[in-house]
Structure 1
Amino acid sequence: MSGSARVGVDQLTVTVYGTDTSGAQGDTVRDLYAEVYAEPPYHEGPAEVADFASGRHRTVDQRNFRLVVARWAGEPIGFAFGVPLRVSTTWWDGALTPLPEDITTEYPGRTFAIIELAVRRPYRRRGVGRRLHTHLIAGLSEERVTLLVRPEAPAPQQAYRAWGYRPVGRIRPFPGAPVYHAMIKQLPPPGDADARSHPRADPVGQHHRRDMR
């Protein structure tokens, strides 16, 4: 991948993939993940990348999985993906302090979880993260969106707050995992798409849950 950092609107494209069409993007997503998460504070190597690829493979099979990939002049520069939370989800189980039931209770159509949002370093703060986020949540029927973000990554936290997310608690997704801030964004009623995203900065993409349930 080249290191070009000049992003022109006419050269930036974002493609949306579903469960049936995202499989062919596996190598692209893995390579982007490996590049972004090799950086601090993550310092992830081949073992973590393999773990990510395995977890993503399971997630792709879930109903209403959605993936978006950003390309500049045809070159992949970022991605994001997520799924609706199931009623039986374990998403909230790792809360370090008890969360109220009005946060943790899930029912069909309540919550869409953004599992990853990542942009290559040369292309950050240039509107790429905003475009990924906008396309990922466009047309969702869910009431809200949730994501996890590392406390050691202040830039993404600031961006998510600007995009309408609020922190609701700290979560350790599984034993031995880092601690994350859980954040939620309430979505307006379907049909009010313009109100769903007003971002002003681009995050690196710091939230991931290896196995969505």
Structure 2
Amino acid sequence: MRETDQEVGYVRFEHVAPDEIWAEVTSLFVLCFAAHPYNESADELQSIVQWGPEKLASPGGRLVVTRHDGQLVGFALSQRLDQDSSWLQRLNGMPPMLDLDILPSRTLVVQELAVNKNFRGRGIAKQCIRELLSNRAEQDAVLGVFGQATQVREMYRHWGFSELGTSPIYGGTVTLHALHHKLPWTA
């Protein structure tokens, strides 16, 4: 374990998290995804404060947050696939690249993963995913990565995720790569 990892604490929330946590998650979410390579609208990103708790409250909902010296520096959020109609449509519309039989009620969607840029490269993202995917009843996990986030996609591939396919989003201006991993995740 790296020295920095020992200075970082991880907390899991199952189905509900305090409003203060969501305020911090929202700030980090905007900080990470309004920046390059995502360049998403900061105003639209603020909406995680509404939809994040809804995803957490649903089956498969888990939120992992990590702190360093009291500051939230990373988080990961999940929900079961059968609870997310947009993900179901997206996956059903992709030509299959892998021979998988994914059951929505047994598949977890990693909805979000974010780490403060000053703390990247220290194993925090990997530990957030480890915490998010550990001790799960589901048998598969899926997640999406924007096409322009090539380093992030390579990180997931290095962790053993395989590409399921691609889907245009935001009116075709962005390509979303759907990735898959069997559970349990042991990387």
TM range (shorter): 0.7 to 0.9
1:86 corresponds to:
82
Q: Which amino acid aligns with 2:186?
A: S
Q: What CA RMSD, in Å, does the superposition of the two structures yield over aligned residues?
A: 2.6
Query: Which range moves more in the overlay, 94-103 or 22-31?
Result: 94-103
> 2: CA distance between counterparts of 1:131 and 1:105?
25
Per the alignment, in what secondary structure is the counterpart of residue 91 of structure 1?
helix
8 Å CA contact retained: 2:37, 2:148:
yes
8 Å CA contact retained: 1:92, 1:171:
no
Q: CA deviation at 1:38?
A: 2.0
8 Å CA contact retained: 2:144, 2:178:
yes
Q: How does 1:54-203 map to 2 (within 5 A)?
A: 54-86=50-82, 89-94=85-90, 97-99=94-96, 103=100, 105-108=102-105, 110-172=106-168, 175=171, 178-188=174-184, 196-198=185-187
- Identical positions, percent: 24
Q: CA deviation at 1:119?
A: 0.5
* TM score, norm. by length of structure 1: 0.76
Q: Which runs of structure 1 show a deviation greater than 6 angstroms over 4 or more consecutive aligned residues?
A: none
8 Å CA contact retained: 1:14, 1:71:
yes
Per the alignment, in what secondary structure is the counterpart of residue 181 of structure 2?
strand
Q: CA deviation at 1:97?
A: 4.2
Q: Deviations over 1:5-26 (max 9, x none)?
A: x962332101101113354411
8 Å CA contact retained: 2:34, 2:42:
no
Q: Which amino acid aligns with 1:155?
A: Q
> 2: CA distance between counterparts of 1:51 and 1:167?
28
The alignment of Structure 1 onto Structure 2 pairs a total of residues equal to: 185
8 Å CA contact retained: 1:94, 1:173:
no
Structure 1 pair 146/88, CA: closer, same or farther in 2 (3 Å)? Answer: closer
User: Any gaps of 5 or more consecutive residues in structure 2?
Assistant: none
> 1: CA distance between counterparts of 2:73 and 2:11?
12
Structure 1 pair 174/54, CA: closer, same or farther in 2 (3 Å)? Answer: farther
> 2: CA distance between counterparts of 1:56 and 1:177?
24
> 2: CA distance between counterparts of 1:101 and 1:131?
26
Of structures 1 and 2, the one with the larger relative CO (CA 8 A, separation 6+) is 1
* TM score, norm. by length of structure 2: 0.85
User: Any gaps of 5 or more consecutive residues in structure 1?
Assistant: 1-5, 189-195, 199-213
Correspondence 1:39 to 2:28: no
8 Å CA contact retained: 2:77, 2:132:
yes
